[in-house]
Structure 1
Amino acid sequence: MGLHPQVQSLLKMLESRALPPMEQLGVEEARKAFETSARVMSKAEHKVKTEDKKIQGYEKEIAIRIYTPEGVKESGVLVYYHGGGWVIGNIETHDALCHTVAYESGCIVISVDYGLAPESKFPVPVEDAYIAAKWVSDHSEELGIDKKRIAVGGDSAGGNLAAAVCYLAQERKEFEIAFQMLLYPSTGFEFTESYEKYGEGYYLTKGTMAWFRDQYLTNPEDTESPLAAPLLIPEKATKHLPPAYIMTAEFDPLCDGGEQFANKLKDAGVEVHYVCYPGMIHGFLGMTEFVAVGKKAVSEIASELKAKFNADVRQLNERENS
């Protein structure tokens, strides 16, 4: 179908503003620009009760925001890691998405403000993400959460962290993750065919991704760590990873990596629902004020989460009654 007309219009609008790429802005200005853009591009039609907390992270305290729909009891939970190349983004830039997913799924969502690079380089964001998920499991009773229904998820760099947390949880065996939601995730450091095809002119550029990686990684050897590149998770561990919902966008440099990770899980026997949104670009879930498909996709994420958790409850009840 080609690039969606609404995406074409949005890209033309962004091009007319003639803003320099993030790698030319520098870290602080890039963060401010992304926050300003997020406030304009995405808004929640419905909101749920929120509570902000601080918890101890790997090196310092990190913030979390708990989104609780009305009337939830023994809820499933999505621990959510925002996107932004491990460098930009925060709880506020993804507030609308988290409100919407919580409201439409009826599940608690907990958004995590993990440490950002270059101040917090790899593996600190991974460890922050893991600590936050473990904190949710450890505090499940007071949060009103069913600890057998803990999902982790995120978009872009956040999807990368979610996949890494699943691997760490499997290795450390301190708590269990029931489900992973990876939304146009970064899964490796090779410049694949989709990078070559869509690495310029489609919002996220090859140059910006290279800059993000330079800020995030501590040394070149980090590209070979499965905690930084989930495509490198060992085969013997892959088969024990939780079921996954993996979403990609057709005109996204990261598209190939997301599809490759979905196939890696499928080949290992893991249950995977993979979907590629035609005509869409990286970040479209945060462009819902301009791209109607973005709203539809966020609703489908909520439906996927709700269906997964309801199926888990049914299976648990069947086992208990058998």
Structure 2
Amino acid sequence: MNNDVSSTHRKGVKYALCLLLWFAVSPWALAGEVSKGVTKHDDIPWAEAGGRTLSLDIYQPEAASKAPVVVIYHGGGWLINNESVMDAMSAYLAEHGGYVVANVNYRLLPDNDNTTRMNEIVEDVFGGLLWVKAHIAEYGGDPTRIAVTGDSAGGHLASMVLTRGRALESDGFAGDSLGFNPTWLPAGKTAEQVADDDGLAVQAAVISYGAFDLLAAAQGGFETKGNMFWQFAGAEPRGIFGAAVTVQNQPDYYRAVSPIFNIPQASEYQLPPQFHHVGSIDTTTPPEAVKAYVAKLKAAGQAASVTVYEGNNHAYMDTGCIEALGSCFDTHAVPVLKDILVFLDKNL
């Protein structure tokens, strides 16, 4: 394991994420208006999971027909927030890029009386992407031209699509393989059949200040009171796989949900082009950690780049302003989105 990735991510888990408390309760975090020429289809239910209805929002540009698609997963440490924090980004990509955007919700760890497991979150993300592929043509999108993106925890989940999207099993997260059974599957298809078809393949990925090593995070205190996100979420700290699994006795569980341990060699499987970005003063997912992950991708022969944006802190892709981080979407995200659109236009 790369020491830079491990040590810097532990620091972020312990103290830097607590800066997001202000954002979690700020009225500025509420969804903004839909951009001109873009229709927002709000709260579309796509699955039932653990007694909860999972939904997504679709942003459809006027006259969209077989338009490329961007699927977004929000951040929040897997503990707080919902898709509304990605409203501004969704609207921008639809208005300025002509993309059909699916802004996807997933279960959080505190859901279902604080029993949701990390593998179930991954299964929600996989299921949401499969649902989008099956239905996005109804909203003018092209299911053969899809990019995934996400920020922070959402960047982790988008990276899981790339690195573990072929590890699908009907038995779910069990046995030696620790595979995933997506929350939603196409009619008549099993998880294994979807894997055989490479059904979760996408054509590009934008990873915004992602987290890639949950083993290091757990070793650094993510599952304890030292991670203030549990308090923000109003939940008792616990193991992300339940009480029976700890990072000491079953580290393989944590590796199975950590992209850094699951990068394929390009000779075995070619991942889509990836554009990673991070702020120069981000202490939650520091530039050194993102660079180290991208270096591992390149060492495996995968196409990946990283851009560090000077003066940007964490969570700059989120809607509104975050006073505690000195970040505003219009100031800090829009210049990045212009670069993202160049990348997406080239690869989609």
Does the TM-score normalized on the shorter chain lie above 0.5? yes
Match of 1:89 among 61, 71, 81: 81
Instruction: Report SS of the residue matched to 2:143.
Output: strand
Superposed counterparts of 1:130-149, under 5 Å: 130-149=126-145
Is it true that 1:244 corresponds to 2:240 in the alignment?
no
Which position in structure 2 is the counterpart of 1:7? none
Which position in structure 2 is the counterpart of 1:108? 100
Are 2:75 and 2:154, in contact at CA under 8 Å, matched by a contact in 1? yes
Is it true that 1:151 corresponds to 2:147 in the alignment?
yes
Which position in structure 1 is the counterpart of 2:228? 208
Separation in 2, partners of 1:54, 1:189: 29
Separation in 1, partners of 2:148, 2:29: 27
Instruction: Report SS of the residue matched to 2:228.
Output: helix
Deviation at 1:46, TM superposition (A): 3.3
Instruction: Report SS of the residue matched to 2:87.
Output: helix
Deviation at 1:148, TM superposition (A): 2.2
Alignment gaps of 5+ in structure 1? 1-20, 196-205, 314-322
Match of 2:308 among 276, 286, 301: 276
Instruction: Report SS of the residue matched to 1:124.
Output: helix
Are 1:45 and 1:100, in contact at CA under 8 Å, matched by a contact in 2? no
For the structure 1 residues 169 and 22, does the alpha-carbon distance in structure 2 shift closer, same or farther, using more than 3 Å as the test? closer
Superposed counterparts of 1:20-169, under 5 Å: 34-37=23-26, 39=28, 43=32, 46=35, 48-52=38-42, 53-56=44-47, 59=50, 60-119=52-111, 120-169=116-165
For the structure 1 residues 224 and 263, does the alpha-carbon distance in structure 2 shift closer, same or farther, using more than 3 Å as the test? farther
Are 1:101 and 1:299, in contact at CA under 8 Å, matched by a contact in 2? no
Separation in 1, partners of 2:144, 2:343: 12
Which position in structure 2 is the counterpart of 1:318? none
Is it true that 1:231 corresponds to 2:231 in the alignment?
no
Is it true that 1:257 corresponds to 2:289 in the alignment?
yes
Deviation at 1:81, TM superposition (A): 0.4
| Residues 43-101 of structure 1, C-alpha deviations (whole Å, 9 max, x = no match) | 56835311120011554531100011223221111110000000101022322222223
For the structure 1 residues 277 and 66, does the alpha-carbon distance in structure 2 shift closer, same or farther, using more than 3 Å as the test? same
Separation in 2, partners of 1:245, 1:168: 18
Instruction: Report SS of the residue matched to 1:286.
Output: coil
Separation in 1, partners of 2:211, 2:262: 14
Separation in 2, partners of 1:297, 1:92: 18
| Residues 120-165 of structure 1, C-alpha deviations (whole Å, 9 max, x = no match) | 2211111100111111112243232222211111000000000001
The one-letter code of the counterpart of 2:260 is L
Are 2:55 and 2:104, in contact at CA under 8 Å, matched by a contact in 1? yes
TM-score, L = length of structure 1: 0.72
Are 1:105 and 1:305, in contact at CA under 8 Å, matched by a contact in 2? no
Match of 1:182 among 201, 204, 207: 207
Q: Which has more helix, going by share of residues?
A: 1
Instruction: Report SS of the residue matched to 1:123.
Output: helix
Separation in 1, partners of 2:31, 2:46: 27
* Bigger RCO (CA 8 Å, 6+ sep): 2
Deviation at 1:240, TM superposition (A): 2.1
Query: Between Structure 1 and Structure 2, how many residues are aligned?
Result: 276
The one-letter code of the counterpart of 1:233 is N
For the structure 1 residues 65 and 71, does the alpha-carbon distance in structure 2 shift closer, same or farther, using more than 3 Å as the test? same
Instruction: Report SS of the residue matched to 1:284.
Output: coil
* Superposed CA RMSD: 3.5
> After alignment, is 66-75 or 84-93 more displaced?
66-75
| Residues 8-66 of structure 1, C-alpha deviations (whole Å, 9 max, x = no match) | xxxxxxxxxxxxx987x9xxxx6xx6443262598568353111200115545311000
Deviation at 1:226, TM superposition (A): 4.4
Separation in 2, partners of 1:260, 1:128: 28
Separation in 2, partners of 1:51, 1:226: 36
> After alignment, is 153-162 or 165-174 more displaced?
165-174
Are 2:161 and 2:200, in contact at CA under 8 Å, matched by a contact in 1? no
Identity of aligned residues (%): 24
For the structure 1 residues 207 and 105, does the alpha-carbon distance in structure 2 shift closer, same or farther, using more than 3 Å as the test? same
Instruction: Report SS of the residue matched to 2:70.
Output: strand
Instruction: Report SS of the residue matched to 1:151.
Output: strand
Deviation at 1:176, TM superposition (A): 2.0
Separation in 1, partners of 2:27, 2:151: 14
The one-letter code of the counterpart of 1:56 is A
For the structure 1 residues 257 and 229, does the alpha-carbon distance in structure 2 shift closer, same or farther, using more than 3 Å as the test? farther
Instruction: Report SS of the residue matched to 2:265.
Output: helix
